[in-house]
């Protein structure tokens, strides 16, 4: 049997423990008060001391976890900045080599992300698309410069060489362990929903949405810009061609969003 005072103190301890468990840590002063030697029965101060020690250990662990979390956040930011720098360096390698396409990767990236924004991509998915867009033509690094910058029409053989760039881009990126299938997006950015385009594969699988967005953004940017073999066709002509191929070569929803972005003035190069 415990006396009335001890029962009251036990009830008090229970109340304080419950408050602390609910995050009201300021109650701990009352806790430590109960540990004051000589003021309360020994079994009450003993119990309060044990709870007090438990609380101190939990708080220490919490502090250590907060520090670890802060270190992890800093490390994540460093890694993220480094990844971004490496992606931009890779992309600029191509643009330095082939000045005719300077700005192409950036503009395709901006348009792709604008389309994806309308489609409700979250920030993580957007990041995968952004990286794929910046690097979508990286495989052109293996295509002879005289073909890329040839001022006249290109032969079938030369075009076949250019077409290898999506597979080469895939192969370059496949060894990088991105959190998104960036290499697949790059591989498929010239595949079309009607089975045309390249590379021709036996895989009848769906073209990832990211690759379908890249395909549209790539074509619109390329047509509206100057190329060594032809002057810029302009955005109106590019959108006309896109409309004609809507639902045939290009994803209908992606096409509609792209056209709307330009027509409403929400996006421009």
Footprint on this chain of Fe ion (rule: CB under 5 A): 137
The single residue listed with the structure tokens 């290109």 is 154
How far apart, in Å, do the first and last CA atoms of the chain sit?
A: 84
> Least distance in Å: CB of 155 to Fe ion?
19
Which residues on neighbouring strands pair with residue 191, listed in sequence order?
197
Give least dist CB 79 to Fe ion, A: 28
Q: Output 31 or 198, the one with its CB closest to Fe ion.
A: 198
Paired residues of 116 in beta bridges: none
Nearest residue to Fe ion, scored by beta-carbon proximity: 137
CB of 218 to Fe ion, least distance (A): 6
CB of 98 to Fe ion, least distance (A): 12
Toward Fe ion, which CB reaches closer, 98 or 137? 137
Instruction: Judge whether 140 counts as a catalytic residue.
Output: yes
Which residue, 143 or 239, has its beta carbon nearer to Fe ion? 143
Nearest to 189 by CA among 209, 171, 172, 173: 209
Nearer Cβ to Fe ion, position 76 or 229?
Answer: 229
- Nearer to Fe ion by C-beta: 185 or 267? 185
Of 100, 107, 92, 99, residue with least CA distance to 216: 107
In whole angstroms, the minimum distance from the beta carbon of 158 to Fe ion comes to: 15
Which of the residues 57, 140, 163, 246 is marked catalytic? 140
* Residues that are catalytic: 140
């Amino acid at each position: 049997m415990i006396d009335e005072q001890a029962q009251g103190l036990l009830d008090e301890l229970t109340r304080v423990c419950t408050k602390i468990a609910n995050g009201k840590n300021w109650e701990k002063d009352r806790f430590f008060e109960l540990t004051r030697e000589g003021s309360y029965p020994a079994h009450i101060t003993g119990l309060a001391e044990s709870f007090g020690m438990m609380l101190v250990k939990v708080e220490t662990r919490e502090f250590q976890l907060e520090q670890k979390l802060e270190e992890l956040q800093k490390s994540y930011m460093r890694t993220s900045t480094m990844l971004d720098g490496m992606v931009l360096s890779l992309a600029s390698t191509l643009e330095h080599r082939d000045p005719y396409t300077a700005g192409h990767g950036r503009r395709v990236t901006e348009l792709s992300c604008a389309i994806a924004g309308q489609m409700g991509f979250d920030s993580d998915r957007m990041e995968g698309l952004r990286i794929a867009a910046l690097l979508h033509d990286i495989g052109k690094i293996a295509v002879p410069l005289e073909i890329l910058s040839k001022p006249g029409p290109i032969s079938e053989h030369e075009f076949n060489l250019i077409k290898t760039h999506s597979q080469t881009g895939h192969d370059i990126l496949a060894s990088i362990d991105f959190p998104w299938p960036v290499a697949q997006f790059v591989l498929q950015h010239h595949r079309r929903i009607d089975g045309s385009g390249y590379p021709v594969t036996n895989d009848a699988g769906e073209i990832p949405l990211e690759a379908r967005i890249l395909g549209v953004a790539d074509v619109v940017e390329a047509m509206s810009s100057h190329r060594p073999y032809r002057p810029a066709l302009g955005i109106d002509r590019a959108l006309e061609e896109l409309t004609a191929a809507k639902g045939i070569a290009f994803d209908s929803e992606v096409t509609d969003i792209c056209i709307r972005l330009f027509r409403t003035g929400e996006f421009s190069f």
